[in-house]
Amino acid sequence: MTQNKPAGLPDKIRHFIDGEFVDSIGGAEFDVIEPVNNEVYITSASAQQEDVDLAVAAAKRAFDEGPWPKMLPRERSRILHKVADIVESRDDQLALLESWDSGLPITQAKGQARRAAENFRFFADLIVAQHDNVTKVPGRQINYVNRKPIGVAGLITPWNVPFMQESWKLAPAIATGNTVVMKPASYTPLSAALWPEIFREAGLPEGVFNLILGSGGVAGDALVKHPDVPLISFTGDSSTGAMISTNAAPFLKGLSLELGGKSPSVVFADANLEEALDATVFSVFSLNGERCTAGSRVLVHRDIYDEFVERYAERAKNIVVGLPGDPATEVGALVHPSHFEKVMSYVEIGKTEGRLVAGGGRPEGFPTGNYVAPTVFADVAPDARIFQEEIFGPVVAITPFDTDEEALELANNTKYGLAAYVWTSDLKRAHNFADGIESGMVWLNSNNVRDLRTPFGGVKASGLGREGGYRSVDFYTTQQSIQITLNEAHSPRFGAGK
């Protein structure tokens, strides 16, 4: 299998600090592989403590001395809109690089590039429209809120749909007047290296955006522990999120942690079966199954269970697996051989825990590369590992239920609580069931379609905090309450005598 290397690849991926592309101070580097043949195609600078210190110092200087935090919202908004324009104009190039680097099917990569532009446009508009409360006691006092940027935001982004995920953090952090140091995932650094030129062309002042590359254990850890970084926004697995929380605690940093998921899709007997099939198949197998909100536990009422499983398995068998750059491909190659091995280990575990009805190994015609056939297990018990643990690949567990109460118990029977999907034509059931589910987000008779104004985040092991819309503005700003007395202060006169 061969895939054409995209045009315009740099000779090397470098850090971007204080407006300049730079190598690591000590020369440290790491190899980057493409997922179809697992061959090294480029090297990247690898940040050590001294490189992180340099990037943070540049960001802090830009915040303390530069124009960005003091600009009017409208001025910042114009630059963010320019960023969105540039991203949209480079949609095809971004998609090619993203698909090459991550194994994401090219048609889905194009959608992520457009979403990245929309993130910047959304926050460009929001900061101009942003307003805060004024309260008053007539004739006595007026109180108002003064909202201010906080400082240097450390953004640690994941390897799944990386460019879009980066935009999701960059847009609100920069829009609100902060400066940033971003560390993308080491598996997929290629598209992150496009941001410096995009920001430069849009007119973002030097030092506002800084990029460091490298491992989470070194570069990410140094960023989390740096005393001049008061904010950390992280997307990744729950164990790493817990470690970040521990390491950030001594500094009392603001944390936004979007972590793992094992989300239920609950299909009742009165659901529109065709729509439910479309959505539950797409939820698990789109983005190669490498998505935190995947409905990877499908709970189906026993009255329709056999038909649903049969039709679901048939759909999974017909999914087009292929080269990421082929427009016909629906599932491409997983991001990295280590992740491929993890997913395949769960496939083998699943063969002892459920009834295999589709997939179960490599797809036909793909003897090499990080390819996993869309895999479906039925009759999975609630205590099975493939029911409880996040696999993050094209693997789904289907489990029957008999009553609404059992369905709710199964839906909540996991340490995660990011998303949930409910399919029923009963309006009362839909709303009551949604209220009972322990998750940060619920979709009723809908695929994962989210308005950017709504909060994104989870409960339990799925995260801490919320981002999206005004919640992102709240996270990246401090709210200073100012009180004005309109007449005498009426302070008690301690020490004034009789």
DSSP 216: I
User: Is the CB of residue 357 less than 8 Å from the CB of residue 324?
Assistant: no
Tokens of 321: 């697996």
Give me the active site residues, please: 258
Backbone phi, psi, residue 21, to 5°:
-75, 130
Distance CA 433, CA 30 (A): 48
How open is the CA angle 51-478-250, to the nearest 5 degrees?
50
Distance CA 147, CA 474 (A): 9
State the pairing for strand pair 463-464/254-258.
antiparallel
SS3 label, residue 35: coil
Distance CA 231, CA 168 (A): 15
User: Is the CB of residue 380 less than 8 Å from the CB of residue 357?
Assistant: no
Strand order in the sheet with 477-485: 134-137, 141-149, 477-485
Distance CA 176, CA 71 (A): 10
State the pairing for strand pair 20-22/477-485.
unpaired
